[in-house]
Structure 1
Amino acid sequence: MTFAVPFLALLLIGAFCAYHRLRLPVWAGLTAVALAACWLLGANPTATAVAAILVAVVAVPLMIGPVRRALVTRPLLGFYTKILPPLSETERVALEAGTVGFEGELFSGKPDWNRLLSQPKPTLTAEEQAFLDGPVEEVCRMTNDWEITHVDADLPPHIWEYVKKHKFFGMIIPKEYGGLGFSALANHKVIQKLASVSSVLSSTVGVPNSLGPGELLMHYGTQEQKDYYLPRLADGREVPCFGLTGPWAGSDATSIPDYGIVCEGEWNGQRVLGVKLTFDKRYITLAPVATLIGLAFRMYDPDGLLGDKRDIGITLALVPRDTPGVEIGRRHFPLNSPFQNGPIHGREVFIPLSQLIGGPAYAGKGWQMLVECLSIGRSITLPSTASGGGKMGALVTGAYARIRKQFGLSVGRFEGVEEALARIGGYAYATSALAEAAAAAVTRGELPAVPSTIAKYHCTEMGREIAKDAMDIHGGKGIILGPRNYLGRSWQAAPIMITVEGANIMTRSLMIFGQGAILCHPWVLKEMKAATLPDPRERLREFDKNLFGHIGFAISNAVRSWWYGLTGSKLGAAPGDAYTRRFYRKLDRYSAALALCADTSMLLLGGKLKFKESLSGRLGDVLSHLYMASAILKRYEDQGRPEADRPLLAWTMFHSFHKIEEAFSAALRNFPVRPAGWLMWLLVFPWGRRAEAPSDRLGHKVASLLMSPNEARDRLGEGVFLTPCANNPAGRINGYLQKVILAEPVERKFQKAIKSRDIGALDFNAQLDEAVREGWITADERRQLEELRAMTLDTISVDDFDSEELRSAGYVLQRLDERRAQAA
């Protein structure tokens, strides 16, 4: 037995040092002390000597820099350069364009929670809040979504005029250029509220404040361009659009075939040097009404008018609508959500070099400009739209499920409906936190490349699930379109959000982990840069430093993953209170496991990893849920740890843990190198998968929160348009909830008398007369039941139309013309 003691001590000291990430000299010193103690306490001398020799053989060469670099690092550098995945120029630009925030901690295997929790609570300025309470509230009151989507297929003129007058299109433009100068957080709050009443309105306002001429000019425009265009964009004199996607280049924006040839041409009566453009764009939001087109194209200089470079690269330009050769104005019709969207065409459209965004100095830098600005826009518009729709869906569906009765019972009391309500509540809570976290990152000055893709993908996916469950609960109320319907258009619009800026399939399988594994990893990007340094000595020295940092990091994560799995994440320091500490520990475990699996995947698959999209998607799911859970915990802390919110918090946490383990399981069971998959399974799941989906009991609590007035429900609904008015049937139904609950005891008493045949009348009004006459209810209670009847009828009623009303005006006019022609 004493023979094994030195080796056991070696193993324990190594595991302890790896878990706590102690440096190599510390490990060597502690190991030496432990072996000396074994010797003095009578352990087997031979075993102790063998253990000491093993330590010396490993530690001495590794602690002597020149020896380590000669014997270990140099051969590994040669191997690394062979397996290093080749990066194209566009991939390199994409990796270097973004910044790394807390998502980098999630790749570390040991997140520094203080870094997250010390971030300031996202708050609006008094001016921003006044804008939400004033112009935003007012334009929501003015909005009739049925008329927009069915009658006009557009915002009515008075709303177009209102949003321009109040500078909705200039929220992100600085005040010195006539804009509102709002923060990204305020932009998020505005889009969220507009989306809760009309997706057409939110997209119309969102696009000018997202990727487009305004954003690009602020970052890269010449002073002359800023002085002229930004004031005009801020007050709506110019309506912008941005032409990127075309028939032959959708998600692969770097392959756009649209081109511009450097040449001389006429501009404002003068002969100037410029670019002759040929382009074919589609899916361009605001294009039919735009007066200023931002355009991405590949620029060529075959005659060398600008220099020796013939293929200058992707370039961005400003093209006025009335430029000769531009074809614009026709519309696409996206799934009965008729926001202005359409194609743009142009053939040999001449513009001067002064119309290039940033001027000639930025020719060929368009991809870098796009990548940097895409992460900002992607962080705001789509997540905020999903959050607004999801919050409104949660509140109105909860109210509907309480008001709507079947078999004498609110439909929300049926367990099947409770399951759907729990998902709606949990997803709305998660979407709200995730969208706000992404906006807060931009407000802090970050370029959140990875968080923006996480927020875009998961907010829009959860928004689609909320719409689906809400439609199931509403039944016929949801599918019959008309002025009373507040769900149908959201259901139709859900697939639109998941296709914008690249389909969600691509976002999940290529972008989240593919970009995060390199950009967020503490060592990989440093190693890649070190391996390509031109100076051989500096290359070896930098690679050595990063390589051994990476090796220690990998060993630590293997130990931490196994230990957390072995102990069920019940041990270890963690922030939070007694209720939330367990959640932080779980995230620590999954962070270590993600780092372990990411390192193993990159080591064994190398450049092939980018083609393993299923594996990349599953590891991306792990990263996404880690980030989402962190955002939820941060908001819970910012709100003062409200006890009433615990069911929502717990549901989202357990849901994320279940999804994380499900993703790990699928990734490891299908790992291309099977022995490595088996080994990782033992380290990640030493006792097997343990995380379960949220329980029915927890789901019941979440559903109950949605179906009754309470502070948690109010917090969930903050920031959406709930004002009861003629144009807001969802707000009316939500406003009925408290009165309906107060009337329920009277209703039960009344229904009991009917069922017991103590009231014999058949007509409702006659039943009320008899109930008052026989003393079953008072006159005040009768008025309460009459009001309940009216509120219930408004809640469950759907619209009907004369057949001719459902024909489009264009169709009717066309048919009339045909009939007149036939008669003639």
Structure 2
Amino acid sequence: MTALICVAVVLIAFLAVAYLRAPLWLSSLLIVLGVVYGVATHGLNVIVATVIVAILAVLNIKPFRRAFITNPLFSVFKKITPAMSQTEQEAVDAGTVWWDRDLFSGKPDFGRLHRFPAPKLTAEEQAFLDGPTEQLCAMLDDWKITHDTKDLSPEAWQFIKDQGFLGMIIKKQYGGKEFSNLAHARVVTKIATRSGSAAVTVMVPNSLGPGELLQHYGTDAQKNYYLPRLAKGIEIPCFALTSPEAGSDAGGIPDYGVVARGSYTDPRTGERHEDVLGIRVSWEKRYITLGPIATILGLAFKLYDPDGLLGDKKDIGITCALIPTEHEGVQIGRRHYPGTSVFQNGPNWGKDVFIPMDWVIGGKDYVGQGWRMLVECLSVGRCISLPAMSVASGKLSSFTTGAYARIRNQFGLAIGKFEGVDEALARIGGFTYQMDAAQSLALTGLDMGEKPSVLSGILKYHNTERMRKSINDAMDVHAGKAVCIGPNNYLAHGYQAIPVAITVEGANILTRSMIIFGQGAIRCHPFVLKELRAAMSNDAAAFDSAVIGHIGFTISNAVRSLVMGLTCARFAGSPKSGPTSVYYRNTMRMSSAFAFVADMGMASLGGSLKFKEKLSARLGDALSNLYIATAVLKKYQDEGATAEDLPLVQWAAQTALYDCQVALDGFLNNHPNRALAWLMRRVVFPFGLTQRAPADAIGTRIARLLMEPSASRDRLTEYMYKPTAETDPVGVLDHALKAVIATEAAEGKLRKAARGGQVSGWTSHAQLADAQGKGLITQEEFSAITRARQLKRAVIMVDDFDQQLNNPDPEVTTRVVF
């Protein structure tokens, strides 16, 4: 019995030091003390004790450890580690790691999370949102833009230029707004709730393009000339990266340039330049937003120097240049037609176009640096543009569908009170909260100076996919109202434009299956990148330090996963008490489980995991949902931890944790080594899958929240453009919602009277008049019901057209038959 007690004590001590991640020397010391105690008091076999101490000595004495353990491992590691291409290396080196590193650690520091500043606009930024952005939205007629003019109106274009919308990211010294990333995103969100085409028009010059590239890498001459012109809208920029032969594989673009001497006429000045060092470029690009009307073309191409005019290197690499579109040989003007999003988008091309070397962004010193420049800037842009438009879709869907579900009746009941519709409303509200929270946290990082490349992939994929789900649910609830397009349909254009967001800036399929975990495993893991760099530099000493740390890290996460699995994380720490504490504890548990499973997956599959995209995608899903869960908790605290918002927080956090569990379960179900998968499952899910999807009751509370005016509804739909005119298809919703709620009791009294035979009439209007005549309702009630019904009709009516589908009836919402 005493021997068993001794073993139990040693085991508990081991679990404790592993759980707490004690350093190797301290863990070893505790084990040695336990062994000595066992030999002295409980007759532990001296030979066994000696073996244990010898193993610990080898582990702690670096020359022995390297000779017997890590050097042999290093030889194997170098053989099985796949070579990293230059573009992969530059992608890995681009950007920074931030909160994503905590999530990959298995032990996120929630105190650090809540020390990040809450997102807040400056007074100048708020004034721009409340002033020019609101004015621009009021100028936009999305039906006219998408079906009549196929472009923004000249007045809207001029307003965008005059008010500085194209220069939000440009520094004030060059005439720009120098707004924060938060402000940039909020402006895009507000415009996108009014017109997707206008939002894309504004967001592209402020995202990946000439403005951002020039500010980071341009020469002083390039900055001084172009940035003021871009800020004032004198120049319209575009950036040409995607080629017909290379979509998501940007590193495989066939477009090329050859260093040469030549002559050209500068279209900006009309001056002729003879025999200058430059590049002859040939390219064919497509899907280039603002390309058809751009005045300045940012161009990415592969550069070669066969004659050695720049040095000994012949294959210089991807290079970025700025070319005036009036330059001889540049072909632009044709347009693509991306569904109902009619923003300016099209192809451009050129053959043997000669440009001087000083048109390269950054000048001659930056030739061959284009891929690094692009991926660094993309890590910022992908956190802003499309995620902001996704948030806009969620806010619009929440605002309109919640109101519509309360206004629209079937079988004498608001359709939002049917459980099927209730379920859809819960998803809309919950996904909107997730999307807004995920982007808000990333924007905080950006404004702290981070360039979180892994988080940008998470946002791009998960926000656009949640946008797709939210709009689908909104379409289902609106039914025929959303199917028949027309000036009064505020959802159809967003629904039809979903493929644009899903495919651009890296197709979602590849972002999920190749980028999120593929890049995250290298950048965010505390030891993997160190091991890879040690292998590439043949540095055995660095590998020794990294791999010993990695082994301890894996053991610790295994122990933490098992302990928290056995205790259902009840004893894991939480920085907040109350109803959200369970989500902090479960996030801690799932983070350790993810880190352990990811490590075992990389160890067992090695470089082949890179090609097992379904497995990699599931690990990426797990990491992504951990991020979303923590972003939700951060948003709740930043907004004052208001109890009214709890249903949204509970649904959003619980769904993210449940989805994380589903992803890990899918990984274990499909891991090719079934014995290892069984072992991992026993560690991370000792009692099975314990995370649960949100209860129906939580979803019902969200549905009710969306179906009536409240501070919580206002917070969820903040930064959405909300017109107030009753003649506006979105603006009328709030008027109708308030009127319907105000008359629900009177309408109920009227229905009861009709069922009891107290009123007569073949139509509802006749019954209403009869009820008033008989004194069953007051004149005030009669007027309120009449107005509520008029507003309700304005909401539910569907556009109709002439036989050629050209002219919608402008009086469809006021037409009276009964």
Is 2:215 the partner of 1:229? no
The 3-state SS of whatever aligns with 2:281 is strand
Q: Secondary structure at the match of 1:248?
A: coil
Q: Map residues 485-504 of structure 1 onto 2, 5 A cutoff.
A: 485-504=489-508
CA 180–728 in structure 1, closer or farther in 2 if over 3 Å, else same: farther
**Equivalent residue in structure 1 for 2:522, among 514, 518, 530:** 518
Q: Does 1:304 align with 2:275?
A: no
Could you tell me which runs of 5 or more consecutive residues in structure 2 were left unpaired when the two chains were aligned.
Answer: 266-271, 809-818
AA aligned opposite 1:547: V
1:642-685 Cα offsets, whole Å, 9 max, x none, are: 11111000011121122111111110011022211111111111
Deviations 1:51-106 (A, max 9, x none): 53343022112222222222222111112212223211111110111201010001
Query: Which of 131-140 and 565-574 deviates more?
Result: 565-574
Q: Give the corresponding residue for 2:273.
A: 270
Counterpart AA for 1:554: T
Query: Structure 1 pair 357/441, CA: closer, same or farther in 2 (3 Å)?
Result: same
**1:548 maps to amino acid:** I
C-alpha separation between the residues in 1 aligned to 2:797 and 2:714?
26
Of residues 361, 373, 377, the one that matches 1:357 is 361
Determine the structure 2 residue equivalent to 1:542: 542
> Partner amino acid for 1:433?
A
**Cα distance per residue 1:379-435 (max 9 Å; x no partner):** 100000000111111111000000000000000010111111111110011011112
SS in 1 for 2:223: helix
Query: Counterpart in 2 of 1:24?
Result: 24
Tell me, yes or no, if structure 1 residue 782 matches structure 2 residue 782: yes
Comparing 755-764 and 517-526, the one that deviates more = 755-764
**CA–CA separation in structure 2 for the residues paired with 1:679 and 1:78:** 27
The residue that corresponds to 1:316 in the other structure is 320
Shift of 1:580: 1.4
Contact 1:143/1:727 (<8 A) preserved: no
Contact 1:15/1:559 (8 A) holds in 2: yes
Q: Counterpart amino acid of 2:256? A: Y
| Alignment check: 8 A CA contact 1:6 1:35 kept | no
The separation in 2 between residues aligned to 1:86 and 1:531, in whole angstroms, is: 10
The alpha-carbon deviation at position 2 of structure 1 amounts to: 3.3
Moved more, 119-128 or 265-274: 265-274
2:142 is equivalent to residue 141 of structure 1: no
2:594 counterpart residue number: 594
Which amino acid letter does the alignment assign opposite residue 720 of structure 1?
M
Equivalent in the alignment of 2:811:
none
Distance 1:530 1:803 in 2: 72
Task: Tell whether 2:259 aligns with 1:259.
Answer: no
Determine if contact 1:24/1:59 at 8 Å carries over to the other structure: no
In 2, Cα distance between the equivalents of 1:67 and 1:761? Answer: 98
Cα deviations by residue, 1:728-755 (Å, 9 ceiling, x for unpaired): 4223213432222111111111222222
1:426 matched to which residue of 2? 430
Mapping of residues 608-687 of structure 1, within 5 Å: 608-687=608-687
Alpha-carbon shift at residue 727 of structure 1 (Å): 7.4
Letter of the 1:349 counterpart: V
CA distance in 2, matches of 1:768, 1:139: 42
Stretch moving more, 687-696 or 200-209: 687-696
**Aligned counterparts of 1:197 and 1:736: Cα–Cα separation in 2:** 20
Give the equivalent residue in structure 1 for 2:115.
118
For residue 167 of structure 2, what is the aligned residue in structure 1? 170
Contact 1:261/1:277, CA 8 A, preserved across alignment? yes
Assess if the C-alpha contact under 8 Å between 1:251 and 1:502 holds in 2: yes
Matches within 5 A, 1:214-613: 214-268=211-265, 269-271=272-274, 272-533=276-537, 539-613=539-613
CA positional deviation for 1:39: 5.6
- Deviation readout 1:267-318 (Å, 9 max, x if unpaired): 2311122111111100111111111110001111222222222211100011
User: Distance between the aligned counterparts of 1:589 and 1:682, measured in 2?
Assistant: 14
Distance 1:349 1:71 in 2: 61
State the AA in 1 paired with 2:212. Answer: E
Query: Is residue 289–residue 343 contact of structure 2 (8 Å, CA) maintained in 1?
Result: yes
CA gap 1:565/1:329 in 2 versus in 1, 3 angstroms: same
AA matched with 2:133: V
| Mapped partners of 1:662, 1:459: distance in 2 | 19
Q: Which residue of 1 aligns with 2:704?
A: 704
The TM-score with structure 2 as length reference comes to: 0.96
Instruction: For residues 345-394 of structure 1, give each alpha carbon's deviation from its aligned partner in whole angstroms, at most 9, with x where no partner exists.
Output: 11111111111111111011100000000111101000000001111111
Q: Secondary structure of 1:346's match? A: strand
The whole-number CA distance in structure 2 between the counterparts of 1:146 and 1:364 is: 44
Letter in 1 for 2:637: E
Letter in 2 for 1:219: H
Instruction: Name the residue aligned to 2:739.
Output: 739
Matched, 1:67 2:54: no
Match of 1:131 in 2: 128
1:53 aligns with 2:57: no
Return the alpha-carbon distance in structure 2 between the equivalents of residues 494 and 628 of structure 1.
21
Counterpart residue type for residue 23 of structure 1: P
Task: Note if contact 2:628-2:653 (Cα within 8 Å) is conserved in structure 1.
Answer: no
2:726·2:735 contact (CA, 8 Å) conserved in 1? no
Take 2:682 and 2:58, find their aligned partners in 1: how far apart are those partners?
31
Aligned to 1:313, the other structure's residue is in SS state strand
Q: Once superposed, what is the RMSD of the aligned Cα atoms?
A: 1.5
1:198 has 2:195 as partner: yes
Contact in 1 for aligned 2:32/2:53 (Cα 8 Å): no
Q: Which string of whole-angstrom CA distances, capped at 9 and with x for unpartnered residues, describes residues 609-668 of structure 1?
A: 110100000000000000011111111111111111110000111211221111111100
Deviation string for 1:33-61 (max 9, x for gaps)?
A: 43455566x53x145x4553343022112
Cα distance between partner residues in 2 of 1:716 and 1:389:
12
Provide the identity percentage: 49
> How far apart, in 2, do the equivalents of 1:301 and 1:593 lie?
50
Kept in 2: contact 1:316–1:357 (CA 8 A)? yes
Q: CA shift at 1:23, angstroms?
A: 1.6
Q: 1:175-190 to 2 correspondence within 5 Å?
A: 175-190=172-187
Query: Does the alignment pair 1:103 with 2:106?
Result: no
Counterpart in 2 of 1:822?
none
Find the counterpart in structure 2 of residue 817 from structure 1: none
Q: How many residues align?
A: 801
What residue identity is the alignment partner of 1:2? T
